[in-house]
Amino acid sequence: MTDQIKTAAEAFEADALPRVHEVHTDPDKANASNVKVPNAVANTPVKSKSPAQWAYERVVLYLKKFEEELDEDHEVAMGFTGADAGVLRIEGMGYFDPDVLTFYGTDPAGGRMQLVQHVSQLNVVLRALPKAVQEDAPRRIGFQLVEDLEQDAKTS
């Protein structure tokens, strides 16, 4: 038995089926409503997911959709809201149940960075940064994360 109290909005979100609704001025631009949801995400009931897993999966889908819009000269990075920490070139992402997400990467100067964030404080600003000069091809972390989700479905 738990003494945790949830707001009506939190209870509703926990019971909601995965769905998304977006409207854009340009219908050809990034739109999460037309993202193919991997089977591992779609076939796992929302009620069985921790807040961290639920947030992780949704951010992964937004990352992949954002990367689909990038040209070969740019990679995804994230800016920080409410902080002067700059931007983090996203090179990895994970979650720690029940409620923490983490982003791994580097700053524009190549310094190592990691953001650890509680799901209740989650704010992610996706940005396009010129790819690292030494790299031949841009790295696409969103595509790798979706592939990982799909692999989990095959092994479960």
Residue 12 in this model has a pLDDT that exceeds 90: no
**Per-residue pLDDT band at 120 (split at 50, 70, 90):** very high
Q: What is the pTM of this model?
A: 0.73
How large is the average pLDDT for residues 63-72?
89
Q: What pLDDT is stored for residue 4 in this prediction? A: 65
Segments making up each domain of the chain, as ranges = 8-22+37-155
- Tens-place pLDDT, residues 73-109: 999 999 887 777 788 999 999 999 999 999 999 988 8
φ, ψ of residue 113 in degrees (nearest 5): -140, 150
**Per-residue pLDDT band at 137 (split at 50, 70, 90):** confident
